[in-house]
Amino acid sequence: MTLLPLAPDVLLGVALLFTAWRALYTQALFPAVVFFVAFGMLLALAWMRLQAPDVALAEAAIGAGLTGALLMAAVARLRGRDEDRP
């Protein structure tokens, strides 16, 4: 029973490692960006669990939100370039 409070944290850690792995090793770029954004949101949750709400807020807004948007824009541009090739 003493392990029960630990379970959500372990689940969070495993999910973090899984999303990080998928973000790095997914071949298609768009799903990789989606995994990156999911990783950022989970990391924000992890910061909350570590009682660092300031870092969590910054991670959610900048790490997951804006970096995700920047990466999406980059993917859209790369796609446009690939279509240029014969």
Give me the least distance between CB of 38 and other proteins, in Å please.
17
Give the torsion through C-alpha atoms of 15, 66, 45, 24, to 10 deg. 20
Should residue 30 be labelled a site residue for other proteins when binding is judged by CB under 8 A?
no
Number of residues that bind other proteins (CB under 8 A): 18
76 binds other proteins (CB under 8 A): yes
Helices 29-49 and 67-84 sit at what angle, rounded to 10 degrees?
170
DSSP state at residue 51: T
Cβ contact 51:63 at 8 Å: no
Closer Cβ to other proteins, 49 or 79, answer by number:
79
Element (H, E) at 44: helix 29-49
Residue from 6, 28, 54, 85 touching other proteins (CB under 8 A): that is 54
Give the binding site for other proteins (CB under 8 A).
Answer: 53-54, 56-58, 61-62, 65-66, 69-70, 73, 76-77, 79-81, 83
